[in-house]
Amino acid sequence: MGVTDRLVPLARWLWPLAVANLLANIGIVVTGAAVRLTGSGLGCPTWPRCTEESYVAHGELGINGAIEFGNRLLTFVLVAVALLCFLAALGSRHRRAIRLSLVIGLGIPLQAVIGGVTVLTDLNPWVVAGHFLASMFIIMVCVALLDELRSPERGLAPGRHRVLAFATLAVGWVVLYLGTVVTGAGPHAGDAEARRNGLDPAVVSQAHATSVYALVALTVALLVVAVRSRERWLTRVTGLVLAIELAQGVLGWVQYWLGLPVGLVALHMLGAALLAAGLARIALAVLPHRAAYEAQPELGLQEAAATRLGGE
């Protein structure tokens, strides 16, 4: 019996582990926001140790040290979930799921290293931006894994739909990036001594808002063509993403005019993670998908895997 044969029993857990992957990676975005918003970004002043003498936080570091150290510990939870998901994918013999879960599993330690660099550079705002955008990419890959495992069977969408979908994805990335620039110019640096990017907050906020308007316009256009062509799955996905965009836009303006209260900023970070997931879902919705693997849950694990491989 080979290694993958021994992993076959894990295959039944592939879907819940894939869901856990997504939730965990969204969750660490929110806990990362808590680190920054409480001024705990340098609660552990070095990396990979928490202090020069210890890998763990101690009483002298106070609540900020506990918050930052707790966020670091969550990385091990993400690694454990990603590893189990990868092993379940191996057991399922689902080749695309194996590749996607491997990307997620490799992305998490890489993301931890980027997080370490942010500490070693005293929360350089441009490095912090890269740390956040890496999380957005991992979230998108998590969504791709879910789409591969359970999603309506569909063919390749018409050219106009694909152009609008990928334009929406591209502008969405611009929105996410400019959001990090706004953050780098704002007051929530993660530590009282951390430097900012030196840009005018009002100017970069306006640029960010303009990109949001473009994103909403593209999403509306995609929704219109999806409705007219009776693409039910694309219509549903695009409508949901539009709702997230509108909620994010309202929340962004409210937090700006109220002086960036930490509670609203945290919600806005959660919304950004949900937006990243939604943008990935839109791009995937215009690509072909065969639902044979997930459509036959009553089959034995070996038979289901063989069915999937036989269709590829």
Type of residue at 10: L
The answer to whether 129 and 114 are in contact (CB under 8 A) is no
Structure tokens at 7: 């992993």
pLDDT at 291: 67
202: helix, coil or strand?
helix
Type of residue at 262: V
- Kindly compute the dihedral angle of the four CA atoms of residues 203, 205, 211, 212, in this order, to the nearest 10 degrees: -150
Mean pLDDT of residues grouped by 10 in the chain (312 residues)?
A: 75 96 96 88 90 83 88 94 96 93 96 94 93 97 96 94 98 96 84 82 93 98 97 97 96 87 91 98 95 44 41 40
Rounded to whole angstroms, the Cα distance separating 189 from 128 reads: 9
pLDDT at 1: 54
Please state, as a whole number, how many other Cβ atoms lie within 10 Å of the Cβ of residue 56.
Answer: 13
Burial category of 259 from C-beta neighbours within 10 Å (exposed 0-12, middle 13-18, buried 19 and up) = exposed
The answer to whether 278 and 246 are in contact (CB under 8 A) is no
pLDDT at 301: 43
CA–CA–CA angle 35, 186, 45 (5° rounding): 35
Rounded to whole angstroms, the Cα distance separating 272 from 81 reads: 22
pLDDT at 296: 37
* pTM recorded for the entire structure: 0.90
Q: Which of 143, 136, 122, 92 is nearest to 287 (CA)?
A: 143
pLDDT at 256: 82
Please state, as a whole number, how many other Cβ atoms lie within 10 Å of the Cβ of residue 147.
Answer: 20
